Amino acid sequence: MSAYKFPDNFLWGTAASAYQTEGGNTHSDWHQMEIAELSRPVDRRRIKQPCGIACDHWNRYEQDFDLAAEIGVRVHRLSVEWSRVFPEPGKRDRAVLDHYRGMITALKSRGIQVMLCLHHFTIPQWLVEIGGYENRRLLIDHFREYLDVTVQSVGELVDYWLPINEPNVVPLAGYLAAYFPPFKRSPSAFIQVFRTFFHMHALSYHVIKKHRPNAPVGVAFAFTHFQPFDPSKAFHRWGASFANRAINTVFFDGIRNGRVGFPLGFAAHIPGLKESLDYVGLNYYTSNYMKGLTPVANKPGDQVTDMGWIIYPEGLYEILHYLAATVKVPIIVTENGMATENESLRINYMNEHLIQVYKAIEEGIPIRGYMCWSLTDNFEWNRGFDMRFGLVHVDYESQRRRIKEGGRWYSEVIKKNGL
């Protein structure tokens, strides 16, 4: 008998993204930037290594989905790569769309439900060359075309739509903190691009509903927990509150009232934004300390992952309560996991976070599922291939796969429907 028994029909899942796993996405903005970075001295490269063939998931998806089925996964989240579908402006690749349809069908044939993401950080390089995220009008026009084509191509096979992954990350990482392309440090660009993602989310919700009126449409939001470095200092408390507002809650206030508020704007209306969520996808990994507006990664004695992120399961519990009180729709934890090569640490990380999920469910929070990031080891953006988040180990030279101890543990959790 499990000490922590989850509700019947709880969605136990895994997640992955196209660019990080497929390999060969040579038409994307990330690919072009990776190639450019190779000309820099090794110690000055902002992207550690190119993605290349990654996990070769494009050709090996049947094997990967067999492993997902062996683990017992009930839902798998994957994404479509925009730059594959439209390698040139206005020119769709029908063979690519057919290939994605085959991938989705392969999941369904194994009894695994499909959650489909349509934007996971990358855009076509040709779009960058005409302004990218900072040319909102053109980007939205092309995004609408991409949405229409993709939804019509695979829509009846998808169980859950997740059009935008982490609408706050590209603005933050690419235009403010400058650790993602285009490596800018511009508060004004951060505001402009973040607002563009509000428009992209609203557009995707209504385009999907136009074609699939009954389809559940959500968002995967990277909700970082913020706390004051020294709770006794008012400036530290203010910094944590401001960061939470600027990076997290401003988006959900927009969903609630249809307007972009401070610090991204002053109640500017965005058509179609209000209540454009059927469920919330929550991506949670860590908490950040704030000394005013200065983030501090960790304190002496904190346990951290290989990413340098502190392990703070209580933050997940707090955020689940915030979301339940704010947007009042069901919640699915769409990413949670740990970069480590120590499987005991991975198991403990998942166990502690799932206890927080269980606790929130017992208190009435409508949490429908939990998805581990990630199914396989993969390309971790600017950090390259050293960060191993997978339940399945990938030997990048041979492309051999094997289920790790953490994957076997998760399989038992799914079988017991609890801890």
Domain spans in the chain, listed from the N-terminal domain onward: 11-416
pLDDT > 80? residue 250: yes
Residue carrying the six token digits 């450019």 = 36
Confidence class for position 381, pLDDT limits 50, 70, 90? very high
DSSP state of 113: E
Angle at 29 between CA 24 and CA 35, to 5 degrees: 70
Q: How far apart are CA 88 and CA 111, in angstroms?
A: 35
Mean pLDDT of the chain: 97
Task: List the structure tokens of 79.
Answer: 């994404």
Q: How far apart are CA 110 and CA 211, in angstroms?
A: 26
Angle at 293 between CA 287 and CA 296, to 5 degrees: 40
pLDDT at 1: 62
User: Is the alpha carbon torsion for 361, 14, 341, 337 positive or negative?
Assistant: negative
| Burial profile 185-208: b = 16 or more Cβ within 10 angstroms, e = fewer | eeeebbbbbbbbbbbbbbbbbebb
Q: How far apart are CA 363 and CA 357, in angstroms?
A: 10
* CATH of 11-416 given 3.40.640.10, 3.40.50.970, 3.90.1150.10, 3.20.20.80: 3.20.20.80
pLDDT at 2: 78
pLDDT > 80? residue 21: yes
The residues with which 225 forms a beta bridge, in sequence order, are 287
Q: What is the pLDDT of residues 120-164, one digit of tens each?
A: 999 999 999 999 999 999 999 999 999 999 999 999 999 999 999
Q: How far apart are CA 393 and CA 388, in angstroms?
A: 8
User: Is the alpha carbon torsion for 59, 65, 66, 67 positive or negative?
Assistant: positive
Q: How far apart are CA 328 and CA 326, in angstroms?
A: 6
- Determine contact, residues 376/57, Cβ cutoff 8 Å: yes
H or E segment at 322?
helix 313-326
**CB-based burial of residue 57 (10 Å sphere; 0-12 exposed, 13-18 middle, 19+ buried)?**
buried
Strand 220-222 and strand 280-283: pairing?
Answer: parallel
pLDDT > 90? residue 30: yes
User: Is the alpha carbon torsion for 49, 82, 77, 320 positive or negative?
Assistant: positive
